[in-house]
Structure formats: C-alpha cells, structure tokens
Amino acid sequence: MTPINVMSPSMKWMILSQSAMTFGAGVVFPFYLIFIKEIGGDFTEFGIAYGLFTLFSAFLNRLFGASSDRYGRKVFLVIGAWGTAFLFLLFPIATSIWQVYAFQIVLGAFGAMQKTCEKALIADMTEGGRRGELIGRYHFGVSLFSGAAVMAGGVLVDFFTLDLIFYIGSVVLFVGGLMLVRVKEGAV
Amino acid sequence: MKKPLLIGAILLYATAFAASLAIRASTPEGQTASDVSRLMSARVHEVIPVRSTSDIVKALEKARRNNLKIAISGARHSQGGQTFYPDAIVLDMKKYNRILNIDRANRTIRVQSGATWDDVQEAINPYGLAIRVMQSSNIFTIGGSISANAHGRDPREGPLIDTIDSFRLMRADGNVIQVSRTENAEWFPLVIGGYGLFGVVLDADIRLTADEMLEERTLKMGVERFPEYFAENVRDNPAVGLTIARLSTAPASFLKEMYVTNYVKATAPLPDNPPKLKEERAVELTKFLFGLSRKCDWGKNVSWTLQKRIFASENGTILSRNNAMRPEIEFLEYRDVQRTDLLQEYFILVNRFVPFIEGLGKIVRGSGLNLVNITVRYVPANTDATLSYAKEDSFALVLLFNHRRDSRGISQLERATQDMVDLALQQRGSYYLTYQLFPTPEQLNAAYPGAESFFQLKKKLDPDLLFMNEFYARYAP
Ligand SMILES: Cc1cc2nc3c(=O)[nH]c(=O)nc-3n(C[C@H](O)[C@H](O)[C@H](O)COP(=O)(O)OP(=O)(O)OC[C@H]3O[C@@H](n4cnc5c(N)ncnc54)[C@H](O)[C@@H]3O)c2cc1C
C-alpha cells in the first residue's frame, strides 16, 4: 500500500481534470441568468431552463450510474466533459429561448454522467482506511477551482462579453476531458 | 484511449470551436441597443465607439455605402429610443469627450460632445467657473443635453439653448459646418432640441458663469401655496441661485405637501482656492429610502418623514454652486429585470400648477400607477428652439414611476400617459420629448406647434433620412 500522503498519479489527474471541469462549468453557470435575459427571457424562463436541466439529470443519474458499472466510469466522464464543451460552443450562436431549452436538456444528460460517475470513480479509487482523507483533499482542490471560476467569470462578464465565458468554459472543459485520459480506472 | 481517437477528438473540437466563432463573427447584427430605462430595445447593425472625428466620417461612409441608418447615443438617459433604430449604426459618443479650450476671461468652454457635465465641472472648477444651465445631475453628455435642449434648476436661466454660442455639426453629407445664431443660423434651432436628427454635434462653445457660494435652505408648504410663494420669493429674487421642489407621494400627504429647497447666495465669497468637487456621498441611505418608496405605501410614508430630517440636517449647509450642481444620482440605478424606473416631465404654466396637480392626482389614483416621486423646477418662456417645450413661464414637473416592464404594464402606462398629456394640454402646457413615445402624434403636434416645420426641414436637410431614431419613426408624418 502506498504511504498515506502520497497520492497515486491517477488520483492527481482525477483531481486536476475534475477541477478543470468545475472551473469550466463554474465560469458560466452563475451568469447564465444574464445570458437568458439577453436572449429575451425572464425569471420564469430561467426557472424553466434550470428546472429542465435538473429534471433530466435526475432521471438519467440512475441510468448512467448502472451503465458505468458495466462500461466503465471514465468513458462517461469523458463524454460528459466533451459533450458539455461542444454544447457551450452553441450558446454564443443561439438566437431563441427554445434553443436554450434544448441545450439545457442535453446539458442535463451530460451533467448526470459527470456527477454520478465522478462519485463512483472516486469511490473506486479510494479504499476504506484513508478514503475520507483522500476525498477531503479531492474536494478541497475541486472547490478551490469552483470558487476561482465564479470570480473569474464575474470579471470576464464585466469587462468582456458574455460569449467569452462560454468559449473559455468550453476550452477548459475540453482540456479537463483530455486529462481524464491519464486516469487509470481502478488504480489506487 | 487510443492515440488516433484522441487526435480525432481534438481535431473535431478545434473545428467546432472555429465554426462557432465564425458563425458568431458573421452575425454582427446580434448587437442590441437600449437605454437606461430598458423599456424598448432594437437589434442594431453595430455600435461604433467614437474616439475621433474620422471615426464618424468612416461610419457615415459605411452607412451610405450599405444603405444603413445612423443613430447617435450619449449617456443613453433618454427613454424612448431616441438613441437607436433597428439595423442602424449607432455612434457611441461617450469617448469623444475632450475639453478643447477654456476661456477664463470670456467665461466660455469648448468641449467635445461626448463629454459629460461632470467632465466639464472637473475642468472648470479650479478656475472659479461654473455651469450656467444643465440638468439636475451631471451624468449627461453635452451632445445629449443639446439635442434635448435640457433645462436646470437656476430660476434665472432658460433652457440650455440660451448658453450655447455655437457648435460644429457633421451633416449627413459628411461636411462639417459651424453653426451659431449668425452662421448657418437655420440649423441652430433645429439641432438644439432636435434629438440627433440633423447631424452629429462635434463640439460646442458654451457660456459659463462665476462659481459662487450658496446656502441650502429647505422649507415645507402646502401645494396650493407654492405658485404664490414662488412668484414672491424666488422668481424675481436675485439671491436665489438654484431652486427645486419635491411633492409628497406618501399616501398620508399625497400631492398635498411639498418641500422647497433654495440655494441662496451666501455672504461668504468663493475662496481663492475653490472648494474641491465632492464625490457621491450618503448614497446608500438615499438608495435605501428610494427603495422603500418604490416598494409600498408604507415605505413612501417613512421615506417622506425621514426626508424631513435629512433636509433639516442639511439646512444652512454652505457649498459652492459647482457642488450644488452635482447631487447624488446613483440612487436611480435600478437593476430589477421585471420593473423599471420611468421618468416623465410636464411643463405647466405657473398659474395652472394647482389645477394640474389636482388632475394628476386623479389620474394616478385611478390608473394604479406607482408614482415614486415628483420634483418641480422652473423654466422661463423660451421659443428659440423649433421644438420648444416652454412657450410661457412654466413649472417643469418631473414624475418618476416604478413600473412593470411586461406588455400589460406598458399598455397601462401608455393609457395613463396619454391622459396626463391631455391634462397638460388642457392647461396649455406641454411634455418633454426625451422620455417614452406614449403620446400620440396628435398630442405631439398640439404640444409642439413647431413639429410640422421640424419634420419638413428634416426631410429637406437630410433627404436620405440618414440620421434616424425611434422618435422620428413614431412621429414624422
Ligand atoms: C435621472 C434623469 C434626470 C434627468 N433630469 C433632467 C433635468 O433635470 N432637466 C432636463 O432637461 N432633462 C433631464 N433629464 C433628461 C435628459 O436631459 C435627456 O434625456 C438627455 O438627452 C440625456 O442626455 P444623454 O447624454 O443621456 O443623451 P442620450 O439619451 O444618449 O441622447 C439623447 C439624444 O441626443 C442625441 N445625441 C446625443 N449625442 C449627440 C451628438 N453628439 N450629436 C447629435 N445628437 C446627439 C441622441 O441621438 C438622442 O436623440 C433627465 C433624465 C434622467 C434619466
């Protein structure tokens, strides 16, 4: 067994990749409301869009959870990251609220892949005795990035255009997906 | 994952990224323009930030080449699409803001049209000079103020046109002309108060006055006493430098009580080193009071009572004219997505003030509008501009409403506005063109006898209608 304070390379890549993914998503999501406003929506429409996202991921969590037991978690994590990265590229060219609804549904699916498989993979990669400590460190890294993302997003929106956060978010998500390639499933 | 698969994924992503950017870039029409009220907006062709005269020349050429219209925007505080038009090129003048010259001896300033009154104040304060006529606050641009022919709080001054010596104008054909009461005089009354429809004002020569020390004095009175009080104590009283009054909108004293604040010439002279310009202060408190009065009747009552204390504490304050002419404005910053603060302004003959207020009270109560505050200024008669609003000595009543932005809210407001304009017309008054476009064309013509010739001359001097905005589109015959 590896000493307690040495993390496996896989775990490090996992932290890096998931941090990138929280960053990529975090840079966009708090400012999503402004985007909906600009495209002509209001609070109701924001509620609908957000609700659609949550509902779809709710149902799909079960499906993807079970599938990941069969096909491996990594695949789903990569699809989730890259899928979201591609979708973010569509937001700047969206012209109506209906397109945004459609994107939200698909985003909900990718979100479900990410959420369920992230947890499952982390569980696979840690074991009983030091699981808590490792998960603590994992969340520490990931949360740092999500905080940084929200701040960065605010500054970007203030000084540049709203579209920019989608592009930046997209690139970061794509790179986050690339990093997953270095993660070995089941490696402790 | 296998290498080729990985490379394939990266290539695919890069292509998608490029495609998205390309599509984004090929739709510059995606820009929308709006104003501070966010009531109307339009998809415009593009917004060009103007920094130099050649930026304007290029923009006009581009517009002519591509058959596009030009709209001009300053600080965008007008509230009826005066600064935009669908698919037009919008010239954003805010960065075209240099102070070109200050003539201390003759007390004049030459300034580019995107500069704000704040910029002017910063430039002239060290010389002991002050602005003669400007709005109550200093956030507006010179170009926007000229185009609305703004007025202010100095009871001895008329509208802005009185203090404009001359200006340079870029016409639709790209030529620049000098315009004054003697040179190209035909343009003078059209451009001032002409809402950007005759060309781009490049820079203007504006008359200033001496800065001086003023003492703030506020008193409370019943609304029906105000016209008499004003005639006896303010209008012909050379000691009053600035004056403004506020009417109660609190249910307990709705349109019955008012505070009148006069800035009276202080005995102390202006120090050799003029007082520094103050920055916004106590904004949080005013913002909070304002928030309260927007929300509910109870808030209006509390706010009205608290204002009494604030005024009492400020009574006797001595400050320079420059500082008196930069009151806080940030309380008006309002970001609620569903509601908006809307201003309207009615010009009412001095002796028709009381009947107008009575009629106004009925309309507001009957329509359920949320009237947050009313302020009153004085404008002496002036008909120099073709679209002059005060044909006789008038009180200018500025009404602030807080209202829903949805379509039901807007049509409710539209009906009430038409009623208020009718009321003003019955009292031989008029209304300000810089706000919403709710009044009908008939009402515009009744309030502005010069409107017909204004629109005719527009067609003559800008036959291709290059300069265009929502105001023209709504009212031109
Ligand atoms: C909170 C508030 C308080 C106000 N108080 C007062 C007051 O006390 N007294 C008063 O008279 N008015 C008052 N107003 C109205 C205000 O003066 C006008 O709306 C004024 O036009 C705003 O100036 P702006 O720089 O925002 O102009 P904008 O709204 O940007 O433009 C107004 C018009 O000017 C034209 N324009 C702008 N720049 C140029 C240029 N360089 N050349 C040619 N045309 C140009 C535009 O095309 C447009 O038609 C107030 C408005 C608000 C919102």
Q: Assess if residue A187 is contained within a domain.
A: no
DSSP B217: E
Residues of A in contact with B20 (CB under 8 A): 89-90, 92-93, 167
CA distance, residue B415 to nearest chain A CA (Å): 25
Burial of A2 (0-12, 13-18, 19+ CB in 10 A): exposed
Cα–Cα distance measured from residue A151 to residue A27, given in angstroms and rounded to the nearest whole number: 8
Which three-class secondary structure state does DSSP give residue B369? coil
CA distance, residue A61 to nearest chain B CA (Å): 24
Three-state SS letters, A53-83: HHHHHHHHHHHHHHHHHHHCHHHHHHHHHHH
pLDDT of res. B166: 98
A94 touches B: beta carbon within 8 Å: no
> Strand pairing of B32-34 and B371-379?
unpaired
Q: Does the CB atom of residue B147 touch ligand 1 within 6 A? A: yes
Cα–Cα distance measured from residue B253 to residue B261, given in angstroms and rounded to the nearest whole number: 18
Tokens of A172: 């970061």
Mutate to test the interface with B, among A174, A180, A182, A184 (most CBs of B within 10 A): A174
> Tokens 């989608």, residue?
A166
ipTM: 0.81
User: On the CB side of B255, how many CA atoms lie within 13 Å of its CA?
Assistant: 17
Q: Assess if residue B202 is contained within a domain.
A: no
User: What is the CATH classification number for the domain harbouring A91?
Assistant: 1.20.1250.20
Per the structure, the complete domain to which residue B23 belongs is given by 1-30
Cα–Cα distance measured from residue B398 to residue B432, given in angstroms and rounded to the nearest whole number: 9
- Residues B382, B388: contact at Cβ < 8 Å? yes
Tokens of B189: 């009354």
What is the torsional sign of CA B425, B427, B432, B436?
Answer: negative
For residue B205, what are the β-bridge partners?
B110, B166
Q: Assess if residue A78 is contained within a domain.
A: yes
Per the structure, the complete domain to which residue A87 belongs is given by 9-180
- Residue from B36, B69, B73, B188 to probe ligand 1 pocket by mutation (most atoms less than 8 Å from CB): B73
Q: Assess if residue A185 is contained within a domain.
A: no
Closest-CA residue of chain A to B14: A171
Q: Would the CB atoms of B20 and A171 count as touching at under 8 Å?
A: no
Q: Assess if residue A84 is contained within a domain.
A: yes
pLDDT digits (tens, 9 = 90+) for A40-77: 666 777 788 778 888 888 888 888 888 888 888 888 88
**pLDDT at B284 > cutoff 70:** no
Mean pLDDT of chain B: 91
**pLDDT at A188 > cutoff 50:** no
Q: How far is C-alpha A124 from the chain's CA centre? A: 19
Q: Assess if residue B455 is contained within a domain.
A: no
Single-letter residue type at B276: K
Q: Assess if residue A120 is contained within a domain.
A: yes
Residues of B in contact with A37 (CB under 8 A): 337
User: What is the CATH classification number for the domain harbouring B341?
Assistant: 3.30.70.2520
Backbone angles phi, psi at B170, to 5 degrees: -95, 120
Q: Assess if residue B194 is contained within a domain.
A: no
**pLDDT at B348 > cutoff 90:** yes
pLDDT digits (tens, 9 = 90+) for B361-392: 999 999 988 898 899 999 999 999 999 999 99
Instruction: Tell me how many domains chain A contains.
Output: 1
Q: Assess if residue B474 is contained within a domain.
A: no
- What distance in angstroms lies between residue B286's CA and the mean position of ligand 1's atoms? 23
Q: Assess if residue B77 is contained within a domain.
A: no
Cα–Cα distance measured from residue B143 to residue B133, given in angstroms and rounded to the nearest whole number: 14
- What distance in angstroms lies between residue B83's CA and the mean position of ligand 1's atoms? 9
Instruction: Tell me how many domains chain B contains.
Output: 2
Tokens of B16: 């998608």
Tokens of A42: 């209001």
What is the torsional sign of CA B16, B17, B18, B20?
Answer: positive
pLDDT digits (tens, 9 = 90+) for B10-28: 999 999 999 998 888 776 4
The protein residue whose alpha carbon is closest to atom 23 in ligand 1 is: B144
What is the helix (H) or strand (E) element at residue A23, kind and residue range?
helix A9-26
Burial of B11 (0-12, 13-18, 19+ CB in 10 A): exposed
Is the overall model pTM greater than 0.80, yes or no? Answer: no
Q: Assess if residue B157 is contained within a domain.
A: no
